[in-house]
């Protein structure tokens, strides 16, 4: 089965300070491509904001504010030989320097519904609901990488 992939990757490094969120979202919006449905783009914008906020507030809670957070956004289109339409996806990766975290276990223990009255603590739940895949990997260099995939 033949397939091909077209990839575009964009990277940004920011300091671990919640005030960078505006800068990151501005950078992300410059990457918008008209072929991406606006609803998908807005979901990815929310996912990015939640993931970055979690890295800064939780993973880097005990780190200096200058600790870097690396972000990568990639767009890919994969065509399988037997598919009519190519599979398109946006992949968002966020690297942090926090302690190891079991995202799969956390997701398993989440309630099914998001409580709109709850302040905070909903980021993972929101990212899970809006994404097609989500996982958190501990890397050999003692960093973590949150990977979120959105298909369209």
State the pLDDT at residue 101.
77
State the pLDDT at residue 123.
82
Tell me the pLDDT of the chain (152 aa) as tens digits.
Answer: 344 456 899 999 999 999 999 999 999 999 999 999 999 999 999 999 999 999 999 999 999 988 999 999 999 987 666 666 778 999 999 999 998 877 777 777 766 665 566 555 578 888 999 999 999 999 988 899 999 999 99
Q: What is the DSSP letter of 12?
A: E
Q: What's the Rg (C-alpha) of the chain?
A: 16
Structural domain boundaries enclosing 73: 3-112+119-151
What is the pTM assigned to this prediction? 0.84
CATH classification at residue 57: 3.30.565.10
The enclosing H or E element of 42 equals: helix 38-54
* Distant-in-sequence, close-in-space partners of 78: CB < 8 Å, separation ≥ 6: 3, 4, 5, 86, 87, 88, 89
For residue 75 the two structure tokens come to 């767009």
Using alpha carbons, select from 102, 107, 105, 100 the residue that is nearest to residue 127: 107
What total number of domains does the chain contain? 1
Query: 55, exposed or middle or buried, with CB in 10 Å at 0-12, 13-18, 19+?
Result: buried
| Bridge-based pairing state of the strands 144-151 and 87-96 | antiparallel
């Amino acid at each position: 089965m033949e397939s091909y992939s077209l990839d575009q990757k964009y990277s940004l490094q920011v300091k671990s300070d919640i005030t960078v969120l505006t800068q990151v979202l501005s950078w992300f919006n410059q990457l918008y491509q008209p072929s991406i449905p606006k609803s998908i783009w807005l979901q990815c914008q929310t996912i990015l904001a939640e993931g970055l906020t979690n890295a800064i507030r939780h993973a880097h809670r005990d780190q200096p504010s200058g600790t870097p957070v690396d972000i990568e956004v990639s767009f890919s289109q994969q065509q399988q030989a037997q598919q009519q339409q190519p599979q398109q996806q946006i992949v968002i990766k966020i690297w942090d320097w926090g302690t190891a975290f079991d995202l799969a276990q956390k997701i398993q223990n989440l309630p099914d519904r998001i409580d709109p009255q709850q302040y905070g603590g909903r980021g993972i739940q929101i990212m899970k609901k809006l994404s097609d895949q989500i996982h958190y990997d501990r890397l050999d260099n003692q960093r973590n990488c949150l990977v979120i995939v959105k298909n369209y």
